[in-house]
Amino acid sequence: MNIYIGNLGPGITTDILKAMFVEFGEVESCKIISDRRSGRSKGFGFVEMPSNSEADQAIKNLNGKFIEGQNIKVNHADPGGKKKKQRSRRRRF
């Protein structure tokens, strides 16, 4: 299961992120998204865990946890990427 982690402080590394999740089970992969130009963290990342039950347990326990001065957000990653915009049904003239 792919897990989204948001509101990460700039000091959070992939090693720190992985250590947080490995407490709940096996971690297949761990990635913090960074800006291409500056190389600085964009404040979010993804963790892949093969076991859905372990991933659910990690989400339940880590969502809202205070780490490095910030409450992190942890939930299931949206498999479709960006959410689709809803089309307006109003007619425009």
pLDDT of residue 83: 54
CA angle 52/53/59 to nearest 5° reads 85
pTM, to two decimals: 0.82
Predicted confidence band of residue 16 (pLDDT cuts 50, 70, 90): very high
Predicted confidence band of residue 81 (pLDDT cuts 50, 70, 90): low
Average pLDDT over residues 32-49: 96
User: What's the whole-number average pLDDT of the chain?
Assistant: 90
Are 28 and 85 contacting, i.e. CB atoms less than 8 angstroms apart? no
- At position 23, the amino acid (one-letter code) is E
Instruction: Compute the distance between CA of residue 55 and CA of residue 2 in angstroms, rounded to an integer.
Output: 8
pLDDT of residue 85: 52
Topology at the third CATH level for domain 2-76: Alpha-Beta Plaits (3.30.70)
